[in-house]
Homo-oligomer: A and B are copies of this chain.
């Protein structure tokens, strides 16, 4: 049986190689928003000889085919998630880099209206909320220094 991503690839006439299959599998199995290096590391667990260049090329290919969405959360590297079709925004927990997805219909309508009022037609948009957990968790304050907004 073919995965959704494999299906799309064959629909678009793309060759389905082992590497592409692996990268597709990594993304389908990721609930977080991995960056390129993380995708690479997960892919090499399945095939140790896959190259970082292939990961970059495949991610770009998938993004152009609307299989993946590329995000930039301001830390200088691209992060990916499987395109779900429905739009959503992101809240980034600045304590640990965790990304939470949310959707608010009223907010979406407002974006469109604002663009219209300014004399534009909305093509794309992005909203990111950078926030800290409300409940004070002093112990975890220093937890993760690896994520810098």
Residues of A within 8 A of B (CB): 72, 74, 91, 93-94, 100, 102, 104, 106-107, 110-111, 113-135, 137-142, 144, 146, 148-149
Given the complex, which residues of B lie within 8 Å of A149, measured CB to CB?
124
Q: How far is the CB of A70 from chain B (nearest CB, A)?
A: 9
Copies in the complex: 2
Q: How far is the CB of A51 from chain B (nearest CB, A)?
A: 23
* Complexed CA–CA distance, A104 and B104 (Å): 16
From A93, A118, A134, residue with most partner B Cβ within 10 Å:
A118
A-side interface mostly: mixed
Q: How far is the CB of A94 from chain B (nearest CB, A)?
A: 6
Given the complex, which residues of B lie within 8 Å of A131, measured CB to CB?
115, 118, 120-123
Given that A72-B72, A74-B72 are contacting pairs, would A114 and B107 also be in contact in the complex, using a CB cutoff of 8 Å?
yes
* Complexed CA–CA distance, A128 and B115 (Å): 10
Q: 8 A-B residue contacts at CB 8 Å?
A: A72-B72, A102-B118, A110-B110, A120-B129, A120-B131, A121-B131, A122-B130, A126-B128
Name A116's contact: one of B121, B123, B130, B134 (CB within 8 Å).
Answer: B134
